[in-house]
Amino acid sequence: MAINLTSSNPLYSPEVMDHFLHPRNVGELENASGVGEVGNAKCGDIMKIWLRIEDGIITDVKFNTFGCGSAIAASSMATEMIKGQPLDKALELTNKAVVEALGGLPPHKIHCSVLAEEAVKAAVKDYYDRNGIEYDPEQFKEASCSHCHV
Amino acid sequence: MIYADNAATTRMSENALRTYINAAETHWGNPSSLHITGQNAKGALEEARAKIASLLHCEPREVYFTSGGSEADNQAIRTAVMAGLKKGKNHVVTTKFEHHAVLHTLEQLEKELGIRVTLLDVHEDGLVRVEELREAITPETALVSVMYANNEIGTIQPIREIGEICAEKKVLFHTDAVQAAGILDIDFAGEKIDMLSLSAHKFHGPKGVGALLVKRGVVPYTLISGGAQERGKRAGTENLPAILAMAAALEEALTVREEKTLHLLNLRETLIDRLTEIPYSTLNGDRKNRLPGNVNLCFEGIEGESLLLLLDANGIEASSGSACTSGSLDPSHVLLAIGRPHEVAHGSLRLTLSGENTMEDVEKICEILPQVVEYLRSISPVWKDLESGKAKHILPERYSEPAKEEIRETA
């Protein structure tokens, strides 16, 4: 893109601006082991994560996000945090850890980090489902979308 | 940096700024004081009042200074509702896309006093239909409140016709003219307006000052009690530097109005022509009955806040009706009122120009914006579903609108 990709905006931490303007792992994976999509276009954000899983390790990860700056930054950060990790580690990723890694998010943007956590979990669940691997459904409960009033 | 968010606020003009500083130095007296310092301040205050009255075609005694547009809206609504209730009238007619200073005040009065509010539809073009307004008025109607021009999509309402209907039906007519003052030629008396709100910082004046025009014979409700300032209807020592700067800014804005309008129309039409070339984009609100500096577009498949941040990173400052920019989770009530679905409303962009903007600014916006939209679409799962046919486009691929010649002639 010929357009400029450097900026500091006091609304967001430098880490958020960095991951928003230079998102890591953007794209799609062909023949992914698992794909997770969470969110709702009506609410204004959707995250989709593709995982390549080999021997229980996430060897590659890509994402696409429709959403605000912090949603894109949270997706980027979450993919960085799980890349190269074993599945059980990826499942331990919390939205809080994403927020911390991003140097904080404004209060009304915390839900973007929740979406990132859920997108990772949804992709792992998809992998388990595809491969007939048993799991505890409680582990994959999605937060409700009721806050959007749509 | 290109500032294209003049509906949010404007930069103070040199003239307004100098007036402000001079007034703070010279007229620091209290206009309520008897001594010469006070009375000189009083003289300057009344001069400003007379100037504003003459510019907006009302009488000086019909001008009440306030802290801005929101206070003026609050005061206007309470004025009509309180007077109405005394006569057993408890109904208000307004529109779905008023500013929240109007809508939230009315919601509060629905709860506090049990008034009834009819919200008129503004249709896909963002315009009130006068016949629907006429039908909505009942014998219980105390107030009709319709904004002069919308703050998000810039559509200019049929104020003169509404004034006629309200006069005929003997219902008070308030208009929130915050976006129109200093830009359109407002005729308070001629348009049969009973109350009008305005705010100085929208026309290159200072923040924290505005006015409510109230037709003689209508007694303003006292929102702020205390001293006898503003004919006893708005207490508090007058913010004289701000008031004088507001009068100077309004005079300046209206002196250059015609020339500035032509300049803005040229910029606006170029922006609309070029930016709607982006596939699956659309203009929000009627193209013809529109503030000369307002462009409001939706782009399918992207979200407005990320669009704004990328524009900002490229030196273009604008705004959006996306939920993510507002701190709430719903997109703009204005875009929903004109029938944009949530998915589309999230991808909105508002560019609002002032006389300070140039054709070079427009060129830069037209160069950067399509790239930003394309980039965000390239990482958007929503866009990919639309492109692969998994989801259906809501907007048509090509935007179409009425002929441009017609627009320029009538504007």
Chain B residues with CB-CB distance to A18 below 8 A: none
Dist CA A99 CA A109 (whole Å): 10
What's the Cα-to-Cα distance from A104 to each of A12, B85, B312, rounded to whole Å?
Answer: 8, 50, 21
Query: If DSSP codes are grouped into helix, strand and coil, which group holds residue B150?
Result: coil
Beta carbons of B379 and A71 less than 8 Å apart: no
d(CA B247, CA B148): 20
Which phi and psi angles does B242 have, rounded to 5°?
Answer: -70, -40
- Interface with chain B: mutation pick from A12, A16, A63, A66, highest number of B CBs within 10 Å: A66
pLDDT of B8 reads 96
- Percentage of chain B modeled with pLDDT above 70: 96
Contact A20 B312 (CB under 8 A): no
Q: CA nearest A82: which of A94, A71, A73, A72?
A: A94
Number of Cβ pairs < 8 A linking chain A and chain B = 96
Q: Does A47 contact B at CB distance below 8 Å?
A: yes
Angstrom distance (rounded) from CA B344 to CA B124: 14
Find the mean pLDDT for residues B159-169. 98
Q: Is A112 a catalytic residue?
A: yes
Selected residues 73-132 of chain A with any CB under 8 Å from a CB in chain B: 108-109
What residues contact residue A132 under an 8 Å CB cut-off, 6+ apart? none
Q: Residue B305: which of A1, A23, A69 has the nearest Cβ?
A: A69
Cβ-nearest to A149 among B305, B330, B379 = B330
Length of chain B: 411
Chain B contact for A65, CB < 8 A?
yes
Distance from CA of B103 to the nearest CA of A (A): 19
Q: How far apart are CA A73 and CA A67, in angstroms?
A: 10
B268-317 pLDDT, tens digit per residue, is: 999 999 999 999 999 999 999 999 999 999 999 999 999 999 999 999 99
User: What are B117-129's pLDDT values in tens digits?
Assistant: 999 999 999 999 9
Asked whether the beta carbons of A19 and A72 are under 8 A apart, the reply is yes
Query: Considering chain B, what is the average pLDDT of its residues?
Result: 95
Find the angle CA(B371)-CA(B373)-CA(B375) to the nearest 5 degrees.
Answer: 65
Each as own residue / partner, the long-range contacts of residues A76-82 (CB below 8 Å, 24 or more positions apart, any chain) are A76/A19, A76/A20, A76/A23, A76/A24, A76/A25, A76/A26, A77/A15, A77/A19, A77/A101, A77/A102, A77/A116, A78/A49, A78/A116, A78/A117, A78/A119, A78/A120, A79/A24, A79/A25, A79/A49, A80/A24, A80/A25, A82/A58, A82/A120
pLDDT digits (tens, 9 = 90+) for B225-240: 999 999 999 999 999 9
Distance to chain A for B346, nearest Cα, Å: 6
Residue A27 distance to chain B (closest CA, Å)? 7
Q: A49 pairs with which residues across the strands?
A: A36, A63
| Residue whose token pair is 């809080």 | A96
| H helix intervals, B203-256 | 240-255
Specify the amino acid at residue B330.
D
Number of neighbouring beta carbons within 10 Å of residue A133: 11
| Residue showing tokens 């609309």 | B272
Predicted ipTM of the assembly: 0.92
Residue B282's pLDDT is: 97
Residue in B closest to A73 by C-alpha: B306
CB B234, CB B65: distance < 8 Å: yes
Alpha-carbon dihedral of residues B180, B182, B185, B189, nearest 10 degrees?
Answer: 80
Q: Is B324 an annotated catalytic residue?
A: yes
Return averaged pLDDT per consecutive 10 residues of chain A, 150 residues in all: 70 94 96 96 92 97 96 97 96 96 94 95 96 89 51
- pLDDT of B327 reads 62
Closest Cα to residue A30, out of A47, A52, A58?
A52
Torsion of CA B13, B16, B21, B24, to 10 degrees: -150
Residue A5 contacts B where some CB pair is shorter than 8 Å: yes
- B381 to A108: CB separation less than 8 angstroms, yes or no: no
**CB B132 within 8 Å of CB B145:** no
The answer to whether B199 and B169 have CB atoms below 8 angstroms apart is: no
Digit-coded pLDDT (tens) for B80-119: 999 999 999 999 999 999 999 999 999 999 999 999 999 9
Q: In the CATH scheme, what architecture does the domain A14-130 have?
A: Alpha-Beta Complex (3.90)
Give pLDDT tens digits for B341-389. 999 999 999 999 999 999 999 999 999 999 999 999 999 999 999 999 9
- What pLDDT shows up at residue B99? 97
The pLDDT of residue A9 is 84
Is the Cβ–Cβ distance between B271 and B366 less than 8 Å? yes
- At position B394, the amino acid (one-letter code) is I
Domains of chain B and any CATH numbers? 14-255 (3.40.640.10), 257-410 (3.90.1150.10)
Which residues touch A128 (CB under 8 Å, ≥6 apart)? Answer: A34, A134, A135
CB B178 within 8 A of CB B7: no
> Residues 12 to 41 of A: which have CB under 8 A from any B CB?
20-21, 23, 26, 37, 41
